[in-house]
Structure formats: C-alpha cells, structure tokens
Amino acid sequence: MTTPSLIHRPGKKLLAIATLLFSVLFLCPAQAQEPATVWTDQEKPIVDQLRGLRHLRDDVRAQTTKQLALQIRQLPANAHKVGLANSLADLSTEGDFGRDTLQEVTTTLAYAVREQPQPDDHGHPAEPYLELAQLARYEQMQVSLDAPAYKAAMAKLAADDERRQHADFTLTDLQGKNWQLASLHGKVVLVNFWATWCPPCRKEMPDLDALYQRFADQGFVILAISDEEQAKVAPFIAEHKITYPVLLDPGRKVNDLFQVQGIPKSFVYDREGKLVTQSIDMRTQGQFLQMLAQAGLK
C-alpha cells in the first residue's frame, strides 16, 4: 500500500517510524544511510531486500517475503525492528503472495510490537497496530496480541466501515459526467482509490479494466477516484487505454469520507448498496474476482 504521507497525524515517536518507513521504501541507498537512519550490519541486507521486493517475480517475491519476516523476527528489539516489520507488512499486501507468507509477516509485526509497545498518536492507535488490525479484519490473518492499542485499532476500523456503508458522493469524470454512488443501486459497484504516481495502483489497472469489460453488461460499474488534477490524470488514462470511469476528487473530500490514507484501496458494493468487501492494497485479477463473487457477480 502506497501512501502520500505515510502516517496520519504522526506523534514524535511515530514520526520516527514514518521516516524509517519512507527511507526503506522510497529513498535510494545513499539517501537512506545518511545520519538520520543508521542501519546495523544485520539490518542493512534486510533494508536492501525490502527496496527490491517490487522488482521481483511474484513467486520469488513470496519466498523472499517469508524469509524477510523470519529475519526481522530475529533482530534485537528496537524502533528499527518495528519499522522494518511494518514496512514488510505494507509491501506484503500488494497482490497475492500466499496466505502462509502473509501470516508470517503478520506474526512478525505482532511480535515486534509486543517486544516494544508503541505509544498512541495523539490519542489514536499507532500505525503498527492499525496495520495489524487491517491484516486481521480484511485479510483474515491471526493476530496474537492483547494490547489496548490493538483493540482500539480494531474498533476504529469497524467505525470506519460503518461510515463507508452509509457514504454517498457525487463526482465528475474526465468526460464531464456526474456519478452519484447512491444512484447506482441495482448495480455492483467497485470504488477504487488510486493515483498516477502509485506503482501498485498502476499494476492493478489492466486487471480492473479487463474485469470491467467482462462484466459491464451484467451491471458492473467501476468508479476510480483520483485526487490529482485532470491535466495529469487525463493523459495517463489515454496512454494506458483505460475504459472504466475515472473520477476527480479535488480537495480529497471523498478520500477523507472513506478514510483513505493509503492507495490503492477498493470497496465493493452489491446491488442492494451494501458494502460487502474491500481491499487494503493492490489486488490481482483472481483476488478481484473473489471480491466480486461476494457481491453476486460471477
């Protein structure tokens, strides 16, 4: 899952984890090893492999991800360990690398925060607890953690989903047509949040387009929402020949309505307007098919 600002409302210690996540996922090695982030000899190979995960074939990536989870688990308890475990979890939901792999990643993150509990972020659960809660609620991973912050994170997700269930919006697509979510009852609707700069978003778009063309005549609608300017979005969509509706969200009002802090993120509503399933990250075509089946589309 890619985030424009990795942590929302970061507190002092949480900001350090956010900076660590950013240096692991986005900076080149020279930048990442400036004095602000000094890696130990044990950590350096892990950081290098994390940076390269997105360039691996999926089968190799799955194996490497599982190995990294075990390696991180063996690190001494410190803020770097929590940050590395959280970085790995963030990358491990970008597709389908196997449930065993994702469970190892989940176990490692839970182990890290048990060793070093994270302080609240201005009254909100710290990011690692939210990550674990998402893995449990949306990926059905087993999380062995009895911590008030984790319970608070689970409660927050439940409250967010209740708001999403009753959410409505009207946005304009690139052709100037208005789309209202509430007016699409009777159709299966997939609301997808994305951006041109987001690698996982770009990776899943061909599969989304193929599914749109396959199921459009059965009442399937995709509403892909970007908070970028039309001048940036329109050429990208034309270049990649995307056929489903792409809507603009100036000011991020709908992003905020759906509590979207990382992309891509997708929500599927059935023909009765019920939110039946969602993804916390990029999905493969097979994973999208499983989501649509929960809305009765096969």
Assess contact for 224 and 208: CB atoms under 8 A: yes
Residue 109: what residue type? Answer: L
β-pair partners for 152 = none
Give the rounded distance of the alpha carbon of 22 from its chain centre: 15
Q: Please tell me the distance from the alpha carbon of residue 70 to that of residue 46, in angstroms, as a whole number.
A: 11
Contacts 24+ apart (CB under 8 A), 66-72: 66/100, 66/101, 66/104, 66/105, 69/101, 69/104, 69/105, 69/107, 69/108, 70/104, 70/108, 71/45, 71/46, 72/46, 72/108, 72/112
Secondary structure (H, E, C), 33-88: CCCCCCCCCCHHHHHHHHHHHHHCCHHHHHHHHHHHHHHHHCCCCCHHHHHHHHHH
Contacts of 251 (CB under 8 A, 6+ apart): 227
pLDDT digits 0-9 by tens, 137-152? 999 999 999 999 999 9
Residue 274: what residue type? Answer: K
Secondary structure (H, E, C), 103-138: HHHHHHHHHHHHHCCCCCECCECCHHHHHHHHHHHH
Determine the pLDDT at residue 29.
47
Mean pLDDT, the chain, rounded, equals 91
Backbone angles phi, psi at 89, to 5 degrees: -60, -40
Q: Please tell me the distance from the alpha carbon of residue 214 to that of residue 45, in angstroms, as a whole number.
A: 43
Q: Measuring CA to CA, which residue among 276, 260, 258 is closest to residue 268?
A: 276
Determine the pLDDT at residue 37.
77
What does pTM read for this prediction?
0.88
Assess contact for 229 and 249: CB atoms under 8 A: no
pLDDT digits 0-9 by tens, 222-242? 999 999 999 999 999 999 999
Determine the pLDDT at residue 52.
97
Alpha-carbon distance values, 230 to 3, 93, 202, 263 (Å): 20, 29, 17, 18
Backbone angles phi, psi at 190, to 5 degrees: -110, 115
Q: Read off the DSSP letter of residue 101.
A: H
Q: Please tell me the distance from the alpha carbon of residue 271 to that of residue 48, in angstroms, as a whole number.
A: 46
* Three-class DSSP category at 248: strand
Q: Measuring CA to CA, which residue among 119, 113, 100 is closest to residue 144?
A: 113
What parts of the chain have a pLDDT lower than 50? 4-19, 27-34
Determine the pLDDT at residue 3.
61
Alpha-carbon distance values, 117 to 10, 71, 92, 144, 258 (Å): 16, 20, 22, 14, 28
Q: Please tell me the distance from the alpha carbon of residue 36 to that of residue 191, in angstroms, as a whole number.
A: 39
